[in-house]
Amino acid sequence: DGKPVDQSLLVKLTRSLRHRGPDDEGFLLADTRTGLTEHRRGSETIPEVRSREIDESFSGTSPNLGLGWRRLSIIDLSPSGHQPMSNADGTLWVIFNGEIYNYIELRVELKAKGYVFRTQSDTEVILHAYHAWGQDCLHHFNGMWGMAIWDVQKRQLFCARDRFGVKPFYYFWNGSSFAFASEIKALLELPWIPRRANDSAVYDFLVHRVLDHTEQTFFSDILQLRPGHCAFISERGLQVQRYYTLSYNPDLGHFNERDSIAHADQLRVLLNDAVRLRLRSDVTLGSCLSGGLDSSTIVSIANSLLFKQGLANRETIGERQKTFTATYDIEQYSEDRFVRQVIEQTNAQPYFVKPAAAELQNELSDFIRSNDEPSISTSMYAQWCVMRLAAQHGIKVLLDGQGADELLAGYRPQHFPVFHAELIRAGRIFEAIKEMRTGASVAGESFSGWLRAAAMKSVKSYVPKRLRHRFMTSAQLLNPAFAAKTVSHVTKEDRSIQRRLYEDETLYNLPQLLHYEDRNSMRFSVEARVPFVDYRVVEFVMNLPAVYKIHNGWSKYVLRQATNGLIPQAVQWRKDKMGFVTPEVEWMSELSPLIRKTFTETSLRSRQYVNPQFVKEQVSNRTISTGDIWRVFNLELWMREFNIQ
């Protein structure tokens, strides 16, 4: 609305994100009406940057646009990588969080168009790409990003988030003022943003175990720019557009061994290139390693590229690849034996951390504040510990295997019954029976149990989606008045496995996992990179028929074929699927005195959402899962941490 930017607030917002960029800071002040822009420095700006201080007076009338930025130096560590960065004539300014992995290739393409580069950074590539292609530049990028470009000539702020939301973008808009940041906690520094909980987000979190599936957040007045979306802010107001839509193949398909091998070969080529691009770094680099198929694949491909194909920069990698693993003394939760096999084959340098309930209790406040919103399970704390471990050993870039389960039907209890039920409805009865028998054998479970799961999924698919929440055991935790008035956004697909995988990739699974991936890593100033979320890999796998993802009782079948000879066979054909688990049952038992005490206090903030008496009973009785108890406990702690009204 033309009112001046409060420069002290701009500094405060930016400093609240110091953990995301401890290496440098920068500011831009602008008058959108006259086109006047002034680069400013702060007290934590590197000495090489010469500009006026942020708190000095503006040359023209009051600036009504302010941009603030923190740097985590990854590419081009020189002062020339400083932001906000402008093009040569100062008509475009950008602030940017993330990486454009194919910046080297784009630089060549843009140079051929006549563009001149002054830096070695990927940030400058964004500026020239935007100048060359406008908003279509987003289709040229392979990477992860939250960005804002001030276009002086168009008098327009262009904002964008990457295709799948690896990097975050939150905003507040009330019709006259627009504010945005990489994390919600920065926006909460603005005194006019109320700290009100979003009832709908709370409901979907407690009952359906999801968040980040809509533009809404847990804060009623703060939204997120959805993955694959961009926004334009000008005197005309705010306009949000989708620029990317993922397609998928709806067919079950018919398995053919020759085609399967060809698909596996293509997937391996794509994964190799996805990892190759994500090895580009001017700082120390390592990998997460859980011992599962996904992370073992990434570690093994990276090792081959680094040391067999000569991509290793010894100054940033060292003589051996460094891996980081969470492990536990309780054998049923530990993947040590698989991790050790990958370490032995790759000769990597392993580092281990043992998360514990006592540490979790001591660090609950920091952990919850790091994530801005409540967490789904204790697994996110284990990831938090792994990221801290990497930072303690000087790592600034960390590869991770996140994203394969959603693509390749990696969640057996959720995905297999949908697949089997769809085969039955398609009249492929004998194929369904064979898949259930082999699947039960692989999992070490009974055929009757698998048949029952498929039957239940078939029956559930005919229940109206608006009524399905009533069958969720977690609904018992809710305050009845809250449950009666709240409308859910969650309608998971149960009739098509391909549609279900699409939803997991774009709505219900991957977005929330990427949320935690970003917040947990950036809390310790570590940049996490996820090769399985390379858009070329995602598009290829999403367009494969379902029978190449689930075959002969195996999940991720085409990936298992693709890793033939790459990873240890014991990992390649692991029969157990642990996920990134923790000893949650044991941990919640240790935390039970604190939980009971919390839900006895008269100051309980979440009373409007939960039934505290039922929660206290469940801490002892355990007729519902420990995950359900964790979520209501986490909700209460979140409301206290952020002073939610």
Indicate the angle between helix axes 293-303 and 336-346, nearest 10 degrees: 10
256 token code pair: 């053919």
Per DSSP (E only), the strands in 88-127 are 92-100
Contacts 24+ apart (CB under 8 A), 568-576: 568/296, 568/338, 568/341, 568/342, 568/345, 570/338, 570/341, 571/291, 571/292, 571/293, 571/296, 571/338, 571/341, 571/342, 572/293, 574/292, 574/293, 574/338, 575/442, 575/443, 575/444, 576/443
Q: Which residues pair with 117 in a beta bridge?
A: none
Give the residue carrying structure tokens 């600036």.
63
Low-confidence ranges of the chain (pLDDT < 50): none
SS3 letters for 595-621? HHHHCCCCCCCHHHCECHHHHHHHHHH
Residue type, 269: V
At residue 477, the pLDDT reads 86
203 token code pair: 């409901």
- Which helix (DSSP H) or strand (DSSP E) does residue 324 occupy? strand 322-326
At residue 472, the pLDDT reads 59
CA distances from 335 to 219, 292, 325 (A): 37, 8, 9
Contact assessment for residue 206 and residue 212, using Cβ atoms and an 8 Å cutoff: no
At residue 60, the pLDDT reads 81
At residue 538, the pLDDT reads 98
Calpha distance 291→326 (Å, rounded): 10
DSSP string, 156-223: EEEEEE-TT-SS--EEEE-SS-EEEESSHHHHTTSTTS---B-HHHHHHHHHH---SSSSB-SBTT-E
Which residues are CB-neighbours of 90 under 8 A, at least 6 positions away?
37, 152
Residue type, 320: R
pLDDT in tens, 307-349: 988 886 777 888 899 999 999 988 788 888 999 999 999 999 9
Q: Which residues pair with 457 in a beta bridge?
A: none
At residue 493, the pLDDT reads 82
The whole-angstrom distance between residue 277's C-alpha and the CA centroid of its chain comes to 19
Strand-pair category, 527-529 with 397-399: parallel
3-state secondary structure of 109: helix
Which residues are CB-neighbours of 248 under 8 A, at least 6 positions away?
498, 499, 501, 502, 542, 543
Q: Smallest Cα–Cα separation from 99: which of 430, 410, 464, 533? A: 533
- Which helix (DSSP H) or strand (DSSP E) does residue 317 occupy? helix 314-317
CA distances from 343 to 17, 232, 295, 390, 446 (A): 35, 48, 12, 16, 34
